[in-house]
Every structure is written in C-alpha cells, then in structure tokens.
Amino acid sequence: MQASRSLFQSAFKDPTQKTARGVSKSRPFLNVWAPSPSVQQYQFHTAAKLRNMASATSFYDFKPIDKRGQPVPLADHKGKVVLVVNVASKCGFTPQYEGLEKIYKDIKAKHGDDFTILGFPCNQFGGQEPGSDEEVQSFCQLNYGVTFPIMGKSDVNGDNANPLYEWLKKEQPGLLGMKRIKWNFEKFLIGRDGKVAGRWASTTKPEALEKPILEELAKPAPA
C-alpha cells in the first residue's frame, strides 16, 4: 500500500522544482494536463459541431459540402422528400447505383422536383472510396449514368463526421439503438417536414424503398 501511494504521489510531482542549493524539491502541480494545441483544436471542433446539432430541428438546418467544396443549403429542399445515401465506388453494394438512378428517374417523372436523392461519398469502410471528388463524379456518371446529386466526400462516423450524419443517426438509430453507420449504402428517408421518416441497412435494395418514398410524397407539405 505504501509503495502504491508513493507511485501515485510521484506521478503528480514537478521534478524540475529546485531549492536555493540546487537540490530537487518535489511539489504537486496541477497544470500537467493542460491541453495541447491539437487537443484544443479538437475541443473547438467538437464544441462547434455540438452547437450546430443542438440548434438543428430539421434536415433543412444543415449545409453540407458539394463536389466543388461549396456549402449547399438543404433548406433549398424544404417541402420535398429526400433519400440520403452514403456511397462508395469499390463496394459490393456499388451496383445499387443502378437501382438508385432508376427510382430517381421513375419517381421524378411523376412527381418532378418534389423528390431527390443525395449521395454522400465516404472512404471509411474498407477504403472503398479512395478517389478525389472529381474521380467519384466521373465514376458514377460513366459506369451508372447517375444524374442525382453526389456531394463532396465526408466521414459519416467518428470525430470528423459530417454534422448532417450526426443528426441523422441521433434522430433515427439503427438496430438495437446503434447510431453508427455500419457500411456503405445505408439509406435515410427525409419526409416533407424535414424529419427522418426511415432508415434502412445496406442490404436493402433501392427498389424496395419506392413504396415508402411514395407514401411520404402523398403527404401534404407543411404550410
């Protein structure tokens, strides 16, 4: 016990404190855990993100970055139904682009601009989206003829997660209350009121979402 107490005490001593004779004289000091600049930067980033989320009441409160690095006000989609998907170019689920493009065109043919899909490229799952924003755009268009908007690359989990995704996960946790995005091509459906209407796993094919999308479109837009 005495040895443990000595180790604990020594951990909180300042070994550089000297007496007038130059002999070390240990004393407790409390600022040993002062945050480094990198920690301070992290704390600032986290605090800003928390403030952003705390004030958010709907999908329309966010401004994610587009393929050119410019903020996109999601308020431009107010009153519309939006399908949000985290995408990747080298994933086993990448062929879902074909299904996403199909429902995008089919539903827009009947409902016009009342519906859209937003793709969010992410490289967090197996490094399956390694390319630049320009390369991602080119891949989607050349291989799957994608015409719905593909945003700029961002994280969906972790300290640097896109604030929109932090809000989506909080509003609609997954199975057993899990908030983390598990893999590429998870889907969130946003209703006309800007609230999350549903969340589906990567294994859910885009075609299976046509019914819930149409159900949301059948609801009146808020006044």
pLDDT at 24: 45
Q: Quote the tokens at residue 158.
A: 């972790």
Give me the architecture of the 58-217 domain, per CATH.
Answer: 3-Layer(aba) Sandwich (3.40)
Token pair for 111: 């409902």
Q: Is the pLDDT of residue 115 over 80?
A: yes
Tell me which DSSP letter residue 7 carries: H
Burial per residue of 85-100, b for 16 or more beta-carbon CB atoms within 10 angstroms, e otherwise: bbbbbebebbebbebb
Which position among 91, 174, 198, 204 bears the catalytic label?
91
Tokens 């909180």 correspond to 12
Whether 91 is a known active-site residue: answer yes
Model confidence over 184-197: pLDDT tens digits? Answer: 999 999 999 999 99
Which single residue is written with the structure tokens 């796993």?
Answer: 201
Beta carbons of 15 and 2 less than 8 angstroms apart: no
**DSSP per position, 23-43:** -B---B-SGGGPPPHHHHHHH
When pLDDT is cut at 50, 70 and 90, the band that residue 55 belongs to is confident
CB-CB neighbours of 71 under 10 Å: 11
pLDDT digits (tens, 9 = 90+) for 192-213: 999 999 999 999 999 999 999 9
> Which string of b and e fits 130-168 if b means at least 16 CB within 10 Å?
ebebeebbebbeeebebebebbbbbbbbeeebbbbbbbb
> Residue 34's pLDDT band (boundaries 50, 70, 90)?
very low
- Of 176 and 103, the one with more pLDDT: 103
Task: Say what the pLDDT of residue 53 is.
Answer: 59
In the chain, domain spans: 58-217
Mean pLDDT of 66-84: 97
Q: Which of 135 and 24 is assigned the larger pLDDT?
A: 135
